[in-house]
Structure 1
Amino acid sequence: MKKRNTCDLWFTLLILAGLLSPASLAGVEKKAQVGFRFLENPVSAAALGRGDNGVLGVTGADGVYANPSAIAWMPGKADVTLSKTVWIADMGYSSVSAALKGPLNMTVGVDYMSMDYGDFYGTRRAENDDGFVETGVFSPSAWVAGITLSQRVSDRFSYGLRIKYAYQDYGTAQVATAGKNLSDTALVIIDRDYNHGAPAMDIGTTYAFGFYGIRFGAVIQNFSQEIQIEREKFPMPFRVCFSADMDLMSLLAPDKVDEHTLRLGVESLHPRDFKERIKFGMEYTLHKSFFVRSGYLINYDERGLTAGIGIRTTLGKTHFVFDYGFQEFGNFKNVHAFSAGFGF
């Protein structure tokens, strides 16, 4: 067992060394270089409450959204989680995920998340007093569905792979296919649908060091080919995340760890189109049933403080979980996330 744990650690360090390449850490700031930005939105209310630290600590079925290796640490045999997030500007999104343990310490998960952008009023230019005419109401939408395979190869190490398909519908636009301007008699205007879907992949690992509750996680998200709409090409929001956390209670009061835990974590996020971002989070647990969370995000334009609570209860062999997460969003309205799930 000791030899295998040593191999697991070296494997994790090799992955970390590969991810910490000059390309991933280059200080080039490239804004507006990716699409399908909804894939970056936090899903788990528990993770959002502790500073959007989701790479470690979320062991329910909704853990696949931040780290596909997370579900390998699921305490029961099966888990189902539903989440709802009230986002900014009257937008929101919902998700459902499920995970089931199988042979060889393998865990399989499936997930689906849909984005609601609300209603928009379409217009196009016209030669009238207003300079435009209305083209009706349209409602952009987006969704992603995935399947995850994760394995806990030892009591300390797990890996996971999530294959997903993301789709975005921008609505219908009126496009001129002939003519030079609005007064051109040869002007031809047609309706054209703008929607596109493409596959993508997430890869994640988790390693528990076995003392003071110290853990490390590394994730590559949204690895995909470039997508082309009209003449422009862009990738999905590719990013690399590193995370570490520990249980401070095991260090400060080891005789109390059965009643209290106090996890402190930090995530380093390296997106394709922005500079490095840091996310701090803390979670206090009482009797493994009541959770209080808080966190802070650094190098974001609007986001900063987060907070949340959670409740876990057991009825027979089934456990039930409810989590709430809050995030301040600067000039926009605050974000509220809710998750509910059960497992056995």
Structure 2
Amino acid sequence: MRTILKIVLIASFLTILFENPLNAGNRKLAQSGFKFLSVSVDARSSALSGALTSLESRSTALFYNPASMSRMDYMFDFSLGQVNWIADIRYLYGAAAYRPMNGTFGVFGVSFVSVDYGAMRSTILANNEQGFLDIGEFSPFAYALGFGYAKSLTNKFSVGGQIKYAFQDLGGGVVGFGADESPQTKKFNVGVLAFDFGILYKTGYKSLMFGMNIRNFSQEIEYLEESFQLPLNFEMGISMNVLDFTEMDTENHKLLVSIDATHPRDYPEQLDMGVEYVFQKTLALRMGYTTPTDEQGVSFGVGFSPTVSGMNMVLDYAYTPFGIFNDVHRFSFNVSF
């Protein structure tokens, strides 16, 4: 009876929290900087449209819900991946997790994300025929480095967090001219500490899981005279293997359904929904959907997970159509032992 009551309370809270905002349209609510921290990098999560808050994961949990890292079964886990983002922007990411003494002391993890925005032309207004003066190229970039920790406090309840340093360099800009009319430039870069925190709860009702996390909590930062905040995001989610309601062999077949309700700082509330079918713990087919969005909506993915000499290797791919922009492709590699 208690379990059913908890499920009802969770579902009711999610409905009340997100019922009205979802009908508000795509009205922008605020602005934030360091938007590279909002892009989903892991191929599995992206194929599920980011609905990973309540799913058990490994080192890549540091990018979503750090608490779910506590439930990994291996001592070591490493992940690497690449995202071919819109406008020829490229992401590289990596994560590693260490679980000493079978999790007695929890799970420790590190993560990194780097962003290459490519080369851009730098110009300033000028009183000439073109109306501008070309002063060369610049190459903006960004990165984030994190250290995380997660622990299962009981066989049902886990907590986790991450502290990370995020840095962004937008190149140099002309801020004035000297007496000889030579341009005076200034570097526009800034770094800040940010925090992530999450919980994961196994309800006890079949395979139903509940998760919650807060990401990118930090102080305000500023470029010159303009201040802004990081893309703070609050997420709640539930997930379950719906084959629990059937008589199918759940050891060889799994059909995970995951739903996340998200509250971003700079966008209306969203629902992320994902479905993952896993055959014999080796082949995974995935699909996700996010609403509301400006361009992206449906995502697809596939994963292959063989076990060789005691090592579990995972190859994941995700594909996201992106409207008027280029389609987005994500590739991930993971190994655990």
Secondary structure in structure 2 of the residue aligned to 1:89:
helix
Q: Does 1:268 align with 2:266?
A: no
Amino acid at match of 2:111: D
Q: Does 1:127 align with 2:127?
A: yes
Q: How does 1:146-295 map to 2 (within 5 A)?
A: 146-176=146-176, 189-253=183-247, 255-295=248-288
Secondary structure in structure 2 of the residue aligned to 1:75:
coil
What is residue 84 of structure 1 aligned with on the other side? Answer: 82
What is residue 181 of structure 1 aligned with on the other side? Answer: none
Give me the whole-angstrom Cα distance separating, in 1, the residues matched to 2:250 and 2:183: 69
Amino acid at match of 1:289: T
Q: CA-to-partner distance for each residue in 1:247-284, whole Å, 9 max, x for gaps? A: 0111123x410110001111111011121111110000
What is residue 320 of structure 1 aligned with on the other side? Answer: 313
Please state how far the C-alpha of 1:31 moved relative to its aligned partner: 4.5
Please state how far the C-alpha of 1:188 moved relative to its aligned partner: 7.0
Please state how far the C-alpha of 1:170 moved relative to its aligned partner: 0.3
Please state how far the C-alpha of 1:107 moved relative to its aligned partner: 0.2
Q: CA-to-partner distance for each residue in 1:201-245, whole Å, 9 max, x for gaps? A: 000001111233110100011100000111111110011001111
Aligned residues of 2:55 and 2:209 also touching (Cα < 8 A): no
Please state how far the C-alpha of 1:337 moved relative to its aligned partner: 0.5
Please state how far the C-alpha of 1:127 moved relative to its aligned partner: 1.4
Aligned residues of 1:105 and 1:153 also touching (Cα < 8 A): no
Q: Which moved more, 1:260-269 or 1:97-106?
A: 97-106
What is residue 182 of structure 1 aligned with on the other side? Answer: none
Give me the whole-angstrom Cα distance separating, in 2, the residues matched to 1:54 and 1:141: 27
* Structure 2: segments with no counterpart, 5+ residues: none
Please state how far the C-alpha of 1:102 moved relative to its aligned partner: 2.6
What is residue 109 of structure 2 aligned with on the other side? Answer: 109
Give me the whole-angstrom Cα distance separating, in 1, the residues matched to 2:223 and 2:97: 35
Amino acid at match of 1:191: T
Amino acid at match of 1:137: E
Please state how far the C-alpha of 1:60 moved relative to its aligned partner: 1.9
Q: CA-to-partner distance for each residue in 1:142-177, whole Å, 9 max, x for gaps? A: 000000010011221110010000000000101127
Give me the whole-angstrom Cα distance separating, in 2, the residues matched to 1:58 and 1:44: 14
* Structure 1: segments with no counterpart, 5+ residues: 179-184
Give me the whole-angstrom Cα distance separating, in 2, the residues matched to 1:168 and 1:58: 31
Paired residue total? 325
Give me the whole-angstrom Cα distance separating, in 2, the residues matched to 1:271 and 1:57: 20
Aligned residues of 2:80 and 2:334 also touching (Cα < 8 A): yes
Please state how far the C-alpha of 1:56 moved relative to its aligned partner: 2.9
Secondary structure in structure 1 of the residue aligned to 2:244:
helix
Structure 1 residue runs of 4 or more that deviate by more than 6 Å after TM superposition: 185-188
The alignment's C-alpha RMSD in Å is 2.6
